A and B are shown apart, each in its own frame.
Chain A
Amino acid sequence: MDKGPVNPRLRLTSCGPAAAVAMTAAAAALLLAPVAAQAGTLLPERGGSPNADRIASLYALVLVFAGLVFAGVVIALVYALWRYRERRSPVAAQIRGNARLEIGWTVAAAGLIVFLAVWSLAKLDAIESPDEAAAAPAAVEAGIVEPGPGRSLRIEVVGRQYLWMYRYPGGVYSYGEMVAPVGVTVELDVTSVDVAHSWWIPKLGGKIDALPGYVSHTWFRIERPGVYTGQCAELCGRNHAEMRAQVRGVAPERYVDWLERQRALIREADEQVARDRAGSGA
């Protein structure tokens, strides 16, 4: 670093950033390398539903810019603390500001924010709106949804202390574990009957609150059979930590079988209750 008299503006705009650019590039590379592999450590969970994947991609982009900005600030700070320490820089330059520089970085910061906002809004629809793709042929064959794009299965999710209940079309319901067909866009209507809860299966997309008196909407589309777990994300009382949620993605024909079995079980139980009531009433 030269010690001659340097124009303050040159010093601020050329010297620090020159080193900073190289190091931020290195930092960005370091950040990018593990991004692909590290869902859950550096990125949100994904791999269950397209909306979770799209959120993770959006997050990855923002993370890269965040990393660059943070690295830039830290490098500039460490450089300033080291280069301009008392022993090495005994006389401080008396600079009170630089209008052009200040306007410049305000515009640059605003520009970055505008870019991130526009990018996010562009990705918004694909994350928010239920996937329009046609259901898998097996699902159409099983009679779960009509053929063609834009069809979905609606399942109602009802939170209560400390259990999730699911209502399927045709009056079937289950507790704790939701069973959902793969290859079908599933729309969820989420509500609560007591306090506020929040429905969250990280691999199946973002969370949505279950508020009494309101119905919130979200969706997922599972492509690979498997069990996806999550838990209530809004403090709902003493057993909040044990309010687990689970979605089991199964092949469409197995979903229909399960629905029938569940319907039979419910009918059986209802009849049992009716018999007991009649018995005790008489």
Chain B
Amino acid sequence: MAATEAPAAPGTATRAVPEIVAHRVDRPVSGWLGWVTTTDHKRIGALYLATALAFMMVGGVEALLMRTQLAEPSNTLLSADRYNQLLTMHGSTMVFLVVMPIWAAVANYVVPLMIGARDMAFPRLNALSYWLYLAGGIVFYGAVFFSPPEAGWTAYTPLSTGPYIPGNGTDAWIFLIHLTGVSSIIGAINFTVTIANMRAPGMGWSRIPLFCWSVLAQAFMILLTFPVVAATVTLMLTDRHFGTCFFDPACGGSALLYQHLFWFFGHPEVYIMILPAFGVISEVLPVFARKPIFGYHAIAASSIGIAFLSTLVWAHHMFTTPLTTVVLAFFMLSSMVIAVPTGVKILNWLATLFRGSINPATPLYFAAGFLVLFTLGGITGVMLAIFPIDRQVHDSYFVVAHFHFVLVAGAVSAAMAALYYWFPKMTGRMLDERLGKLSFWLQFVGFLGTFLIQHSLGLSGMPRRIYMYASDAGWGTENLISTVGAYVLGIGVVVTIVNVAWSLRHGRRAGPDPWRGNTLEWFTPSPPPPHNFDVIPRVRSVEPMRDIRHAIAARTAVEAET
């Protein structure tokens, strides 16, 4: 290996890195006040993670309530309005309060560590991001005590703007979008600046860890699309309260315009939720296959390609609306093209495993589960892109299955992989492997049980967002299977939560580098000190930590495994 000189000798840095100049030293604030006033990216990451997991429990209970209602025909457990409220809360919660914040949590915690920075570029803005997110969640759930929103997470007009839904739940939804949107925009600026400016000496653009590349691509999508949705829901707010007519056809507005504006944000949003998942898989697979990532440049480039293409495919959510054939054909082709960079990533990940030496630890289980289930979700995505086919399956349970394959099996599996992979770094303790594998199998089997059968339900004509179906529809058996699967999936998630709670105190001590990682976060103790690194090593490849292990092995004459 090339790295033979001292990797971390002080004074070898040849480039000035931004550093914090201290004029006075405050005593560290301890206790809960320390958490509330913190600007430490690691503590903010932990706050994000804890809050997102709490909302995940809430969103999961909402899902189980809906699945229980649908377990048998003509069930009377939930009323129609209650069901519509639950589907709206569930969707909005999972998108804005769970999946996006989980990636904010992971990115907050590991991006500065991976690039060898002492904190984010703007630590106080970083804290503001978190508190805005929490405020968005509180405002949204405050509506539970008044009139929860019930127009779906997409809040299509005129249902959401006209006199069709009593109460002001939709306003709570609008404020959820605003608060979490501003939170995400600030976060995106922060990550972009951090990754652009605060990398360790020697870490050129082609040595940035792939997770950071995916966060960077995600940040650009957030900057491009969240302002659009912010404007859109503001127009909706003025339509609702101040007599404007942007989306109401009764006075010259356009219901279709809202759909265009919403999905211009809404489709990139899907990739905002899944790109960091790609990043996690690109980090986990090489470490557990003991082999460099196959095609680093292709994977980084495909992240950028997906980010770019994702802004050109929005109308594939609108294939059933009155659009001209040429528009339909354009969005069909652009949506199909996006399968190419995605497919390239999957093949690169498979090639990373080939001829490796695979360590079957829990993060690898979740990464492998991701590959199976996300591939299926991606393939049904190509089917949906073909708009004559979409006309049959759009707004049916086929689509429900498709996006849960992408977002639950994709984003949540990868988040689980990330949790099992980085928990030792965050806490200094390992998560229990047996509970981890049990959780994986429950989630994998439960997930397939819940969502595979839903493709058939959609094909046989069951629309989404219905609170009941009659027994003569013949959907009873499939729905029962799906509901049982949902409970198994729920138990699987609870096993991981229990694992986290138990391992926080009783987990095996991890040490700084339990997985023999490739990236710089494994160079510092677990959990890292507030300033992250005593010395920041010079980076000479895309796997600086591996170079360091080799250098140490060369100096101490102790054989290091790769």
Chain B residues near A198 (CB-CB < 8 A) = 320, 395, 463
Q: A233–B461 Cα gap in the complex (Å)?
A: 9
Once A73-B375, A96-B292 are accepted as A-B contacts, the answer to whether A213 and B340 lie under 8 Å apart by CB is no
Q: Judge whether B64 is part of the interface by a CB distance below 8 angstroms.
A: no
Check if B441 is an interface residue, CB within 8 A of chain A. no
Residue A19 lies at the interface, judged by CB distance under 8 Å to chain B: no
A105 pairs with B344, CB closer than 8 A: yes
In the complex, the answer to whether B320 meets A206 with C-beta atoms within 8 Å is yes
Q: Is A97 an interface residue (CB 8 A)?
A: yes
A268, chain B: closest CB distance, angstroms: 33
Q: What per-residue 1/0 map shows which CB atoms of A199-230 lie under 8 Å from chain B?
A: 01010011111011111110000000000001
Query: Which stretch (B136-144, B249-257, B443-451, B551-559) binds chain A?
Result: B249-257
Complex interface bits, A144-158 against B, C-beta within 8 A gives 1, otherwise 0: 000000000000000
* Residue numbers in B under 8 Å from A73 (CB-CB): 346, 350, 371-372, 375
Residues of A within 8 A of B480 (CB): none
Question: Given that A102-B295, A113-B337, A113-B339 are known contacts, is A216 also in contact with B395, CB under 8 Å in the complex?
Answer: no
Quick check: B159 and A236 within 8 Å, CB to CB?
yes
Q: How many residues of B contact A (CB 8 A)?
A: 85
Q: Are B321 and A211 in contact (CB under 8 A)?
A: yes
For A70, A116, A127, A240, the residue with the greatest tally of chain B CB atoms inside 10 Å of its CB is: A240
**Can you name the residue of chain A whose Cβ is closest to the Cβ of B253?**
A213
Q: Does B325 contact A (CB under 8 A)?
A: yes
Q: A69-B379, A202-B460, A208-B320 are in contact. Are A59 and B350 (CB under 8 A)?
A: no
- Docked complex Cα distance between A196 and B156 (Å): 8
- Interface check A163, CB cutoff 8 A: no
Please, which residues of chain A bring their CB within 8 A of the CB of B158? 194-196, 212
Q: Is the CB–CB distance between B382 and A66 below 8 Å?
A: yes
Determine whether the beta carbon of A94 is less than 8 Å from that of B562. Answer: yes
Question: 1/0 per residue A18-48: CB within 8 Å of B?
Answer: 0000000000000000000001111111000
Give the contacting residue for A40; candidates B354, B356, B456; CB below 8 A: B456
Q: Is the CB of A92 within 8 A of B256?
A: no
CB distance from B255 to the nearest CB of A (A): 5
Q: Taking the complex as formed, is B28 at the interface, i.e. its CB lies under 8 A from any CB of chain A?
A: no
A-side contacts of B337, CB under 8 Å:
113
A106 to chain B, nearest CB (A): 5
A121 at the interface (CB under 8 A from B): yes
A202 with B388: in contact, given A84-B355, A95-B294, A216-B322 (CB under 8 Å)? no
Known A-B contacts A70-B379, A92-B357, A213-B255; A239 and B80 likewise in contact (beta carbons under 8 Å): yes
Q: Tell me which of B236-244, B328-336, B425-433 binds A.
A: B328-336
Whether B350 and A42, one on each chain, are in contact in the complex, defined by CB atoms closer than 8 angstroms, is: no
Residues of B near A117 (CB, < 8 A) are 332-333, 336, 386
Report the separation of the CA atoms of residues A195 and B248 in the bound assembly, to the nearest whole angstrom.
10
Find out whether the CB atom of A55 lies under 8 angstroms from the CB atom of B351: no
Contact pick for A116, options B290, B296, B297, B382, CB 8 Å: B382
B150 cross-chain contacts in A, Cβ below 8 A: 238
- A44/B393 in contact, CB under 8 A: yes
In-complex Cβ contact of A41 among B346, B375, B460 (8 A): B460
Q: What 0/1 pattern do residues 131 to 164 of A give for CB contact below 8 A with B?
A: 0000000000000000000000000000001000
Q: Looking at B293, B459, B467, which has the most chain A CB atoms within 10 Å of its CB? A: B459
Other-chain contact of B368, A77, A89, A127, A239 (Cβ < 8 Å): A77
B:343-381 near A, CB below 8 Å: 343-344, 346-348, 350-351, 353-360, 368, 371-372, 375-376, 379-380
Q: Of A58, A70, A86, A214, which contacts B357 at CB under 8 A?
A: A86
Verify B463–A62 contact, CB threshold 8 A. no
Beyond A95-B292, A195-B159, A236-B159, whether A207 also contacts B249 by CB under 8 A is no
B466 touches A241 (CB 8 A): yes
B residues 163-183 in Cβ contact with A at 8 Å: 164-165
A121 to B396, CA, bound (A): 23
Min Cβ gap B328→A in Å is: 9
| B395 and A44 contacting across the interface, CB-CB below 8 Å | no
A235 at the interface (CB under 8 A from B): yes
B474: min CB distance to chain A, Å:
9
Is B291 part of the contact surface with A, judged by Cβ < 8 Å? yes
In the complex the two chains form, what is the Cα distance from A280 to B221 in whole Å? 65
Answer whether A237 and B467 are a contact pair too, CB < 8 Å, given A62-B386, A90-B357, A124-B388: no
In the complex, given contacts A92-B355, A238-B80, what are 19 additional A-B residue pairs having Cβ atoms less than 8 angstroms apart?
A11-B355, A12-B355, A58-B386, A58-B389, A66-B379, A70-B379, A73-B371, A77-B372, A89-B358, A96-B296, A102-B348, A105-B344, A110-B340, A116-B386, A127-B388, A208-B391, A214-B256, A232-B463, A239-B80
Using a CB–CB cutoff of 8 Å, the interface residues on chain B facing chain A are 80-81, 84, 150-152, 156-159, 162, 164-165, 249-250, 254-256, 289-298, 320-322, 325, 329, 332-333, 336-337, 339-340, 343-344, 346-348, 350-351, 353-360, 368, 371-372, 375-376, 379-380, 382-383, 386, 388-396, 456, 459-461, 463-469, 562
